Amino acid sequence: MEIIKGLDFKIKNSAVSLGKFDGFHRGHRLLLDRILEHPELHATVFTFDGILKGKQIYLEEEKRSLLERLGVEREVLFPFSEETRSMTPETFIREMLVERMDAKLICVGEDFHFGKERRGDVGMLSEYAPLYGYELCVFPKIKEDGEVISSTRIRRELAQGRIEKANRLLGDPYFVLGEVVHGNALGRTIGMPTANLLPGEQKLLPVYGVYATRVEVEGKTYGGVTNVGVKPTIGADRANVETTLLDFEGNLYGKQMTVYFLDFLRPEQRFDSLDELKAQISRDKETAEKIWVSVN
């Protein structure tokens, strides 16, 4: 997938979805699905680089992986700077959407705002559509269980360990992507080798605990049981994502791995001995195997 950064670019024949897109939940998917309906246009996601603060549901590398999987061709990261914040809405439409992106189709949520002091809105995009010849699609917020699907709501579900609910709101299982790194080799010591990911500091992790997971590495898929947290039995300097793969033998160090979270098994806990920890991991594997069989 092509990644475009900055202001100095010019592309042609685009179907553009605009937004902040923290998580690409089901509401966002409506926009993405619409721009992907036109094979004659180049499906493009336009988002604001630097506007999201604090921990994020998906980091940039994870977002790109998701977008590629969906079939999006390019992502434009528009710098959120003093210069761009002072751009009038009219200038943004003319110079960015029309002249630089050659937008033929523009898809936004009903509350989308842009330009200086956020004065631009869907009404203005609609007003300028006949002048510049683009089609505008505006999508309302969607609800589940009477509440709007939003990134804030998904964050709340992750914080409570309600991973199945978070997954329904996202439209796909929540995941962590990264390179497998060396841990403290405890898993190998107790006969249960693990693969460790160290997410970036900005990654929003679910509540610390043990999860049934699906793992993708080198084009293959495995069931897994994953601990998120600081491993209180031995102590760790920072939170990591440590996975025991079901029915796998081999060396994964240095390989790119994606861990999809399927179900919450139990909170993270401290054990009085390594034997107790090993026994609990065995029970966790049995539970995870049952879940893995049920979804395959």
CA distance 56 to 61: 12
pLDDT band at 220 (very low <50, low <70, confident <90, very high): very high
Give the residue carrying structure tokens 């996202």. 170
**Domain assignments of the chain as residue spans, ordered by start:** 2-144, 173-294
The yes-or-no verdict on residue 215 having pLDDT over 80 is: yes
- Architecture of the domain whose range is 173-294: Beta Barrel (2.40)
Mean predicted confidence (pLDDT) in 15-27: 91
Rounded Cα gap, residues 13 and 6, in angstroms: 19
The pLDDT > 90 percentage for the chain reads: 69
**Angle separating helix axes 151-159 and 163-170, nearest 10 degrees:** 160
Whether 173-294 and 2-144 are alike in CATH topology: the answer is: no
Between 200 and 174, name the one with better pLDDT. Answer: 174
Q: What is the pLDDT of residue 234?
A: 53
Instruction: List, for residues 262-271, the tens digit of each pLDDT value.
Output: 999 999 888 7
Does 235 score more than 80 pLDDT?
Answer: no
pLDDT over 60 (residue 233): no
pLDDT (tens digit per residue) in 25-75: 999 999 999 999 999 999 999 998 877 778 899 998 999 999 999 999 999
**Residues 194, 183: contact at Cβ < 8 Å?**
yes
- Report the predicted TM-score, pTM, of the whole model to 2 decimal places: 0.89
Q: Residue 43 class from Cβ within 10 Å (0-12 exposed, 13-18 middle, 19+ buried)? A: buried
Structure tokens belonging to residue 261: 């979270």
The lowest-confidence range among 11-25, 151-165, 235-249 is 235-249
- State the pLDDT confidence band at 250, using cuts at 50, 70 and 90: confident
Mean of the per-residue pLDDT values for the chain?
90
Q: What is the pLDDT of residue 232?
A: 52
Distance CA 115, CA 117 (A): 6
The answer to whether residues 27 and 149 touch, using CB atoms and an 8 Å cutoff, is yes
Domain 2-144 has CATH 3.40.50.620: yes
Query: Tell me, what's the pLDDT at 190?
Result: 46
Residues 6+ apart with CB under 8 A from 276: none
* % of the chain beyond a pLDDT of 70: 94
